[in-house]
Structure 1
Amino acid sequence: MTLSTTFRALHHGRAAGDPLVLPGPWDAGSARVYAEAGFPALATPSAGVAASLGYEDGSTPPDEMFAAVARIVRAVSTGDTAVPVTADIEDGYGLAPAELVARLLDTGAVGCNLEDSADGRLKDPRRHADWLAEVKAAAGERLFVNARVDTFIRGVSDPARAIERAGLYVAAGADCVYPIGAPREAIPALRAGIEGPINVGAAPGGAAELSELGELGATRITFGPGLQRQAMAAVREGAARLRA
């Protein structure tokens, strides 16, 4: 069984209160920590990786982002067991679908997040769906595509609008959809209206909170840059103690 097949299987047949929890490593060291803790897969956050490289979110040069993902994959590919890694590559950096897929596969990643907004504005959903279909045609089963739906973070609070976009992306071949910024109360409606796995974002918290999100309808849970920011808060506290 390939890593991509293993990763895909993790999204199916899950009990309602048992979502797939994917920590977001921002570098090789954090990736090893999460792998050693026993998580079955990891999901890089673009904002967390950007911060670790000294960039603002959305400003990381593509070459540096792909190189960072490759280092993370390499860090958890040694030894007897390799851990699948999916990568947040924002809106695809303007790359043609075939080139985007080739560069992702070169990193060793088994999946990716792809946003449906750019420069703070939502993309035309049908054109974006056509582009996603081209990505899937180039990738086949080698990449698990998580199609981000940005309506909530772009000021569109009606879950129906997110469901409409999600339907187009699933029809285009997306393996999962991610209505980023969806409030907890919207998750049941999203679950009822969307076919297939749903990614829900969460703040770092305890297992009980994550289980509750699963009960509401989350198939998998990611944390964006939350874990990297949590770690940096601990670094700042340590720095303050050194100056005391």
Structure 2
Amino acid sequence: MNQAEKARAFGALHQKGNPVILYNIWDAGTAKAVTEAGAKALATGSWSVAAAQGYGDGEKIPLETLVATTRQITAVNDLPLSVDFEGAYSTEPAGAAANVEVLIDAGATGINFEDQVVGGDGLHSVEKQVARIRAIREAADRRGIALFINARTDLFLREGDLSKHASLVDAAIERGKAYAAAGANGFFVPWLIESTLIQKICDALPLPVNIMMRQGAPDVKSLAKLGVSRISYGPGPYRMMMEKMREAAAAVYAAAS
């Protein structure tokens, strides 16, 4: 498939009740491993990609390094690739769109695009985020690429008290509907794990809903029954692999001492 075909195929994988599963990768090697395990598509996690290069999360990895990593993955893998692009390295619509075009040139067929102010406080207003999404949509369409814009809201991620998540659902739905009208293809609600709240969002929105696996989240089959269309794993795979490496290395050094 060429890039345009991959983008269309990736969008088609998002089916309510039959979610596409994205076990997040961070480089070409992990892309190969996950592909061989049976993946239908690939997705990076920003935290993992940054950490693998020695950077912190929050757009601290240079844009050119992220783009290079994207090129390395797409050069050796034919599956559709969604890149966690955080805030697209620009608060302004034109800048965000221009940066997404660079990522498209590197082979990406989808992005995660979040509404928190990266490196700042709070979330962008609905109006500001809508303008940014619309600019990205128009830029991708000009390229003839049905880029899957997975619009992420950080309402739940920024609220550590799970008992307060129910009070945020209406605001999340408002954002989801606005993002859909602006040209988003999916709606990502990281940190939300309560089944009734997940189902309420799935029922209320025209967009496929993405849930990130974390401790306390429903399992894959349960999420499918709730109407989820996409399941991702965020930094979990990277953290697990690094812990295994630390343990293995510690055993080697302990045995040699």
Matching residue of 2:193: 183
What's the CA shift string for 1:142-193, capped at 9, x where partnerless?
1110000111112272211111111110010100010111123320111111
**Structure 2 residue ranges without an equivalent (≥5):** none
Question: Could you tell me which residue of structure 2 aligns to residue 117 of structure 1?
Answer: 116
Q: Partner residue of 2:214?
A: 203
Equivalence for 1:21: 21
Higher mean Cα deviation, 154-163 or 216-225?
154-163
Cα-to-partner distance string for 1:172-219 (whole Å, 9 max, x where unaligned): 0100010111123320111111112011100399xx921211112210
**Which is further off, 151-160 or 220-229?**
151-160
- The percentage of counterpart residues that share the same residue type is 35
1:115-166: CA deviations, max 9, x gaps?
A: 1011241111111111101110111261110000111112272211111111
Could you say which residue in structure 1 is the equivalent of 2:12? 9
CA distance in 1, matches of 2:107, 2:31: 14
Q: TM-score, normalised by structure 2?
A: 0.86
Counterpart Cα distance in 2 of 1:98 and 1:152: 26
CA distance in 2, matches of 1:5, 1:192: 24
For the residue of structure 2 that corresponds to 1:218, the secondary structure is coil
| RMSD across aligned positions (CA) | 1.8
The counterpart of 1:222, out of the listed 227, 232, 238, is: 232
Q: Which residue of 2 aligns with 1:145?
A: 149
Asked if 1:90 corresponds to 2:93, the answer is no
Change (3 A) 1:230 1:113: same
Q: Is the 8 A contact 1:88 1:113 kept in 2?
A: yes
Equivalenced residue count is: 234
> AA paired with 1:228?
Y
In structure 1, list runs of 5 or more residues that go unmatched: 77-81
- Name the structure 1 match of 2:180: 170
